[in-house]
Amino acid sequence: MAVVDSTDVAPEADFDPVLSLTRRRRGSTDDAPAAATDSSRCDGGGRDTDGCGFEKVKSAGDEGEDGKAKAGDGGRETELVAKYAYRASAPAHRRVKESPLSSANIFKQSHAGLFNLCIVVLVAVNSRLIIENLMKYGWLIRSGFWFSSRSLRDWPLLMCCLSLPIFPLAAFAVEKLAQYKYITEPVTVLLHVVITTVALLYPILVILRCDSAVLSGVALMLFTCIVWLKLLSYAHTNYDMRALARKVEKGDDTSETANLEFSYEVNLGNLVYFMLAPTLCYQTSYPRTACVRKAWVARQLVKLIIFTGFMGFMVEQYINPLVQNSQHPLKGNLLNGLERVLKLSLPNLYVWLCMFYCFFHLWLNILAELLRFGDREFYKDWWNAKTVEEYWRMWNMPVHKWMVRHIYFPCLRNGIRKDVALHIVFLISAVFHELCIAVPCHMFKMWAFMGIMLQVPLVVLTNYLHKKFSNTMVGNMVFWLFFCILGQPMCILLYYHDLLNRKGTFD
């Protein structure tokens, strides 16, 4: 049997029975009209077409001298199309084509129908889960859902949070002294090290000495980490700007000084704006928008309240009963632990996605709008990440930019290899993840630390899969499986049971 190559197949228009019929009826032997594409017949490009895109067929006697079509032509043309369009001699297979779900074609197709199917299935499955949960546990939302008497005992953490602005003011005073050269560069660096260290240790000691709620401690630690990252960026950026300013004073016109975008200046207004702005990277000026859209801000605030309430509902109604009725995943039956992890994965995924949407999209955009902060790229399409490394570059852009600017590239400039610099970045991230969870829980089990460091072999694995299976989403599936389906629920169970064993109760 002969194999037909796609290059030997004539254009689709050459096999069009309607077009061939038109040629015969018009007595045309010129191939130029036959080369017209389907689009020229569908867009009304000078030809008479019907509603289905077929060209109306007219005989020579159908038109008079005035060029007007006679009545009754529509029925005859329809009969001619039906008679000649799909006869047995007309070819049914014309080109080499791939199946829509083949690897070469799957990402070129629209999957709107499958997306709608997923939505319908999710609604159906979750409706069943809601009914099952209500039948099994009843209504679990307590009267103290938003506020309880326990919250009144967390006032030391609130006072600590309100006192943290002292450290940016101290950093500003150090930079002013350095600007007027009242202190030397080594002294400036030493003072910044002391300020940033105290700014991190002070809230940790307050949380460890107070018997506060876990949620209050987590909120304070997140705020502390943000302040610490901003302080380090402020000190590092000013240090670099002073170095460039000294080169300019010496007349050292290098490429670095030629590309100097901002002049070195220490301004209190710049620091205050930086500490409030939704960014972790300091610079003396930022892109700004023209005005504040008050109605837009109001709509986002309503969304923030709704999604925050939904997160609390999911935690109280679904996650709490699941973890309370579970065993320690590393000490109990393996199958029971795996079943509980998989059962916890769906509500945990909902809460995690809502948390991402509330913070990275709603809250940061609201803050940016109020401050007229122009760069709103707080995240990219991380859900399409094909490797774990690509995910970490896309899901949290403020932290990613900070890591690249103040950790990764400084390591490369100092002669450190790329793989070692990458391990250093993950190490710093792991330390801060552990601090944000272990300090409020008053225990250091290193689960969060190990969870982040295990991302390194996942980076290697997904990079290998991406190179081996090109144009596929195998790495994306591995990311969703290990990060959201298994990793986060496992950490929740581990910390819950370790905290329960330590205190006997869980807040």
Could you give the residue numbers annotated as active site?
433
Token pair in block for residue 58: 């007219």
Pair 413, 407: CB distance under 8 Å: no
* 3 state DSSP class of 54: coil
Pair 493, 328: CB distance under 8 Å: yes
254-258: long-range pairs with CB below 8 Å, 24+ = none
Question: How many other C-beta atoms are found inside a 10 Å radius of the C-beta of residue 103?
Answer: 12
Pair 282, 274: CB distance under 8 Å: yes
Phi and psi angles of residue 197, each rounded to the nearest 5 degrees, phi first: -65, -45
Residue 80, CA distances (Å) to 56, 209, 283 in order: 10, 91, 74
**What is the C-alpha to C-alpha distance for residues 455 and 428, in angstroms, rounded to an integer?**
13
Token pair in block for residue 164: 């943290």
Beta-bridge mates of residue 49: 55
Match 């300090």 to its residue by tokens.
439
Token pair in block for residue 393: 């570059």
Longest distance between any two alpha carbons in the chain, whole Å:
102
**What is the C-alpha to C-alpha distance for residues 150 and 144, in angstroms, rounded to an integer?**
9
Pair 459, 388: CB distance under 8 Å: yes
Token pair in block for residue 455: 């991302």
Beta-bridge mates of residue 55: 49
Beta-bridge mates of residue 63: 69
Pair 90, 15: CB distance under 8 Å: yes
C-alpha 264: how far from chain center:
35
CA atoms within 13 A on the CB side of 171: 33
Angle, to 10 degrees, between the axis of helix 185-209 and the axis of helix 166-179?
A: 170
